[in-house]
Structure 1
Amino acid sequence: MDIVELSRLQFAATALYHFLFVPLTLGLSILLGIMETVYVMTGKQIWRDMTKFWGTLFGINFVMGVATGITMEFQFGTNWAYYSHYVGDVFGAPLAIEGLMAFFLEATFVGIFFFGWNRMSKVGHLVITWGLALGTNLSALWILIANGWMQYPVGSSFNAQTMRMEVTNFMDVVFNPVAQAKFVHTVSAGYVVGAVFVLAISAYYLARRRHVELAKRSMTVAAAFGLAASLSVVVLGDESGYVAGQNQKMKVAAIEAMWNTEPAPASFTVFGIPDMKTHTTKAEVKVPWVLGLIATRSVDKEVPGINNLVEAAKERIKSGIVAYDALDKLKRDRTNAELRKTFDAHVADLGYGLLLKKYRPDVQNATPAEIQAAANSTVPNVPVLFWSFRFMVGLGFYFILLFALAFYLSAKRKLDSSKLFLKAAFWTLPLPWIAAELGWIVAEYGRQPWVIDGVLPTSLAVSGTVAGNVLFSLLGFVVFYSTLLVADIYLLKKYIKLGPDETLGHKVGETLVAAE
């Protein structure tokens, strides 16, 4: 593996590890706010105990999330130095704001949440808890704004004088439609993770007849919140599909393994076996119209196929060659108005011209075979995207059914009477993490070969270091992050087994049961 592949693997590994902790933090933060709100409204001690118990598990996960997130930001300087140089003026602002949100706002609220119970009024502490939830979500917002810009680089332009991307309209960066769609979809997925976590652990308690009062109430909150969140994931996922259909057509075509443009409206492939060598999908099972409605929200607009998009990429690469040649000459003759006019006419395709750097240093002299190879490189790994997307969607519909059943049993006051449901709820515990990780694979793997879509190829973004250094640090990260993951699971398992009575130091629900 070369320096590019190793750098990609390292960032993917650290990102996937980090994203094991982030969604649970997002989901639990809102659930804590809901539980404490009920406590303030009713004054019942058990809701305070619920908030503190689930808050303990939240705190363990939050610490691990911070520890795994810090190193990711440093990688932009160590492994992706040219990327940081090329787009740092744009990418750095939302990343810096995210850091402020995470390490000042969010961390401050976390500290007050744990140490302010006996030092603040009920309402004051409730404000802190909701502030914690807000800070957690705002932290996610800014990192997803940065990531959304990588998917759809609006509000910026290339400056031929500085040879860098620069901000032209920061509000366009903030309100990037891709970033906004990613934010609501990702956050909703985090809510599902948190709801499944509470549902599964509560089912564990009910199946063993432990902490019944706390478990029933926790499961009821998780069922209602989880049902709303899982339905939101589907609806907001549709919005993400539409935005991708407008701005990332190759990603959509690869997800659907659609090699050639179909007559509008395009069909959705429920099942198939994509073949990268023959550019065909075998054993297809299609549902008419669905893809066209999702990707274009119309019945008369086409969804372009992979082969058609490759041909379009060839034309953009040829235009990019012109831009690159003009830029190269402008370095030596910066006052040449004709060169400037030529460059401005083709600058939108400069990134496509840079794809040729993988094949030869003198882009201007690229052969037709090299242009074809560069165009072919715009196709991501279709089977990976095809199956990742379908497993993710399948799990999403399963969560809706699970939460709907939990909500029904809660309404009928039969949560603890169905042993089969309690088992299913408990064994569902790892599935939302799998769905979340698959979502990130679809989002990030789907835009290859670009680190900034249409602007900067991944192969040019790496640092000028040696592969051995990256391999050494990759192995170090895997060992360190695996240790943190084991520690996180150990601590969560320890406090879950201890239960709220031992964790909080008093009998949870005892007063309530006696009163009833």
Structure 2
Amino acid sequence: MTETLVDLSRLQFAVTALYHFLFVPLTLGLSIMLVIMESVYVITKQQIYHDMTRFWGKLFGINFALGVTTGITMEFQFGTNWAYYSHYVGDIFGAPLAIEGMMAFFLESTFIGLFFFGWERLSRIKHLMVTMLMAIGSNLSALWILIANGWMQDPVGAHFNYRTMRMELSSFWEIVFNPTAQAKFVHTVSAGYVTAACFVLGISSWYLLRGRDIAFARRSFRIAAAFGFAAALSVIVLGDESGYTVSESQQTKMAAIEAIWDTEPAPAGLTVFALPDQTARTNHYQLQIPYLMGLIGTRSTTKEIPGINQIVAKNRARIVDGQEAVIALEALRKAPDDPALRAAFEQHEANLGFGLLLKKYVADVREATPAIIDQAAWSTIPRVAPLFWGFRAMVGLGMSFLLLFSAALFCSLKNTFAQQKWLLRWALCWIPMPWLACELGWFVAEYGRQPWTIYGLLPTHLSTSQLSVGAVAGSLAGFVLFYTVLLVVELFLMIKYARLGPSSLGTGRYHHESQTRSTITEGAR
């Protein structure tokens, strides 16, 4: 397997995933906000909340349609570009993906149809129930995707079968309730809620700055401010929990994110600023807050966070032990009923994945020299600088959302937000920032797992299909072109209908419609 093929396959999946994830957060968040708006309509029977639900639902529908289009192709890539991965872990990984497919295409898609076409056919209560089920379907769809991804980060509930050369399911419920998966789910959906709240807040602020559809914009702003404040707090709290699970299950990722080169006495300090140097294996111009990282990362004052150098030494020992596992497995495949060979394999089986890392450098792991073993050990550490700064940019944006929604909620409670031009401009300018934060979070999670597709079990370089470099490069170019067209379509439609605002509903009650009526009246005179 050539390194170029592996890199292109990784790049293709990264590009399609990052494109797809531009649509996902807004779908998750807007679905919940639609429930809130329609609930207020059902309770108060005020027509304006009915119009709000329909207008923001229109933008939700555009985003949902393009999100589905970009998401369908991703699952097929497991069979086309990652065939050995699919063979190796298909028994486990396929189950949550199959359930997600049923959620997305049967539950979510059914109720989104009823949401748009059921306004005149269903009572208020029944339509609200449809909207709730649509939101539940959207969020459950994300749950099963993140259960699958959580298993890639922290593989539990599975075992290796040496006869079939595959991982097989041991406990479905252990996979479902995997702490890593659950932490990723709540953190990811909360980020989606922040995205939707920023979207509604920013567009409502634009209406207020232009002095149009004031009553509509004020109510949308208030709901977005309250919902966004709760969501921003949730992102920070649940992000801390997600970080804690990383420190427990992926110590390599944690050490790289925090640029911890050597284990420090507990509790470790939090590095606020540094210039990580992977060649010299140190940080330059480091600024730390004492004790904070240890308290956040371990929830204790006595537990240490392992440094990169110590992790590499530990991984080197695991690679040496895994080398014996690979040798024993190759012998066992020739004589699968030999009890002595089975016992020898089981003695080293826990480190089989680490032994497989050597396959990147030598076809026969027996030929691995100490220098190659050292190279394999250091390959278990991803590039530190991108993770270090990517994580800090994400956290900084998270804090900015909390500040924005705190100010918006405070001014909403005082009923002064419409006069605060600085706040409205801030909200308008900040519309794209949640997407940037979400993309950074996805990058940190996925890039930080390298060199593994399944952490500690299956190296990335062994996971790809037997394809030509040209085939993968061609499909990558095609995906980039196609997805870029879809993104342009999304932006065009979203901007078009956001500019039209609630006038796009054709009720005759809003800005552009009243302007048209005035023009017609003046022309008649």
Please give the range of the TM-score, normalised by the shorter of the 2 chains: over 0.9
Q: Name the aligned partner's letter for residue 140 of structure 1.
A: A
Query: Is the Cα–Cα contact under 8 Å of residues 227 and 400 in structure 1 kept in the other structure?
Result: yes
Query: For residue 138 of structure 1, what is the aligned residue in structure 2?
Result: 140
For the 8 Å contact 2:212–2:511, the answer to whether it is kept is no
SS at 1:448 equivalent = coil
Counterpart pick for 1:423 among 397, 422, 425 = 425
- Partner of 1:429: helix, strand, or coil? coil
The answer for the alignment partner of 2:212 in structure 1 is: 210
Match of 1:224 in 2: 226
Cα offset, 1:335, TM superposition: 1.6
**SS class of match (1:2):** helix
Aligned counterpart in structure 2 of residue 469 of structure 1, from 446, 468, 471:
471
1-structure distance, mates of 2:478, 2:321: 43
Stretch moving more, 496-505 or 44-53: 496-505
The answer to whether the 8 Å contact 1:148/1:179 transfers is yes
Shift of 1:343: 1.0
Residue of structure 2 in register with 1:349 after alignment: 351
Instruction: Name the counterpart of 2:482.
Output: 480
Structure 2 residue aligned with 1:271: 273
The CA distance in 2 between the partners of 1:36 and 1:323, in whole Å, is 59
Offset at 1:504? 3.7
Shift of 1:364: 2.4
> Which runs of 5 or more residues in structure 1 are unaligned?
511-516
1:485 alignment partner, SS class: helix
> Is it true that 1:454 corresponds to 2:451 in the alignment?
no
Aligned partner of 1:9 in structure 2 is 11
Give the % identical residues. 60
C-alpha distance after superposition, 1:460-511 (max 9, x if no partner): 000000111000000000000000000000000010111102334331599x
Query: What TM-score, normalized to structure 1?
Result: 0.98
Partner of 1:363: 365
Question: 1:382-420 CA deviation, whole Å, 9 max, x = no partner?
Answer: 000000000000000010010000001111111210111
Asked if structure 1 preserves the Cα contact closer than 8 Å seen for 2:503 and 2:511, the reply is no
1:94 matched residue in structure 2: 96
Among residues 123, 126, 129, which one is paired with 1:127 in the alignment?
Answer: 129
Question: Which whole-Å CA distance do the structure 2 matches of 1:275 and 1:321 have between them?
Answer: 30
Q: Among 237, 240, 245, which residue is 1:238 paired with?
A: 240
Corresponding residue number in structure 2 for 1:27: 29
The list of structure 1 runs, each at least 4 consecutive aligned residues, that deviate by more than 2 angstroms after superposition, is 502-506
In 1, Cα distance between equivalents of 2:506 and 2:445: 41
* Counterpart code for 2:372: E
In 2: Cα distance, 1:45 partner to 1:316 partner: 65
User: Is contact 1:213-1:509 (8 Å) kept?
Assistant: no
Write out aligned runs for 1:276-425 (5 A): 276-425=278-427
**Partners of 2:392 and 2:489 in 1: how far apart?**
32
Contact 1:352 1:454 in 2 (8 A): yes
Looking at structure 2, the residues matched to 22 and 285 of structure 1 have their Cα atoms a distance apart, in angstroms, of 36
Q: CA deviation at 1:304?
A: 0.2
Specify the SS of the correspondent of 2:271. Answer: strand
Q: Is the 8 A contact 1:39 1:47 kept in 2?
A: yes
- Identify the residue that residue 79 of structure 2 maps to in structure 1: 77
Q: Which residue of 2 aligns with 1:489?
A: 491
- Cα deviations across residues 148-180 of structure 1 (Å, max 9, x unaligned)? 000000000100010000000000011111000
Q: Deviations over 1:288-337 (max 9, x none)?
A: 11111121110001100001000000010011011111111111111211
The secondary structure found in structure 1 opposite 2:268 is coil
The answer for the alignment partner of 1:513 in structure 2 is: none
Give distance in 1, aligned partners of 2:336 and 2:136.
49
Once residues 326 and 482 of structure 1 are traced to their aligned partners in structure 2, the CA distance between those partners, rounded to angstroms, is: 48
Letter of the 1:258 partner, please give it.
I
C-alpha deviation, 1:448, in angstroms: 0.2
Tell me whether 494-503 or 470-479 shows the greater mean CA deviation: 494-503
Q: Amino acid of the residue matched to residue 503 of structure 2? A: D
Mapped to 2, the partners of 1:232 and 1:499 lie a distance apart of: 30
Code of the aligned partner of 2:293: L
Structure 1 CA distance, aligned partners of 2:111 and 2:442?
28
- Could you say what secondary structure the match of 2:108 adopts? helix
Name the CA distance, whole Å, in 2 between partners of 1:63 and 1:411: 36
Alpha-carbon distance, 1:345 to partner = 1.7
Contact 1:451 1:457 in 2 (8 A): yes
Counterpart of 1:181, as a letter, is A
Deviation at 1:380, TM superposition (A): 0.3
Distance in 2 (alpha carbons) for counterparts of 1:324 and 1:506: 73
Residue 514 of structure 1 corresponds to: none
- Does the 8 Å contact 1:274/1:383 carry over to 2? yes
Q: Which deviations, in whole Å up to 9, do the C-alpha atoms of 1:393-452 show, x marking residues without a partner?
A: 000001001000000111111121011111111000110000000000110000100000
